Amino acid sequence: MATLIYGLCALTAFLCAFLLLHAYSRSKYRLLLWSGLCFVGLTMNNILLVLDKVTFPLVDLSLPRALVGLIAIAVLLYGLIWDTE
């Protein structure tokens, strides 16, 4: 059951990233770009979670997961603070 939930979380983050980046390509509104890039990072974070918990349970991938999540949120934070239109 956990595998299904982890997979659905990764799929949801990917769908959000796709929709945000698609909306950015149509409107060129920069906040959509930063949000889409954040969700790309969150998708990678969820994929690492699946790899960590399901595929390689004996390997600890918590540090790479945390770093990817931190970078994803930092991208969004950069876009919210320093990118002005």
CB-based contact 39:9 (threshold 8 Å): no
Euclidean distance between CA atoms 46 and 55, whole angstroms:
13
Backbone angles phi, psi at 83, to 5 degrees: -90, 105
Q: CA 53 → CA 8, 19, 62, 74, distances in Å?
A: 14, 27, 10, 25
Query: Alpha carbon 15 to chain centroid distance?
Result: 10
Euclidean distance between CA atoms 64 and 4, whole angstroms:
22
CB-based contact 54:6 (threshold 8 Å): yes
Walk along the chain (85 residues) and give the pLDDT tens digit of each residue.
889 999 999 999 999 999 999 999 999 999 999 999 999 999 999 999 999 999 999 999 999 999 999 999 999 999 999 887 6
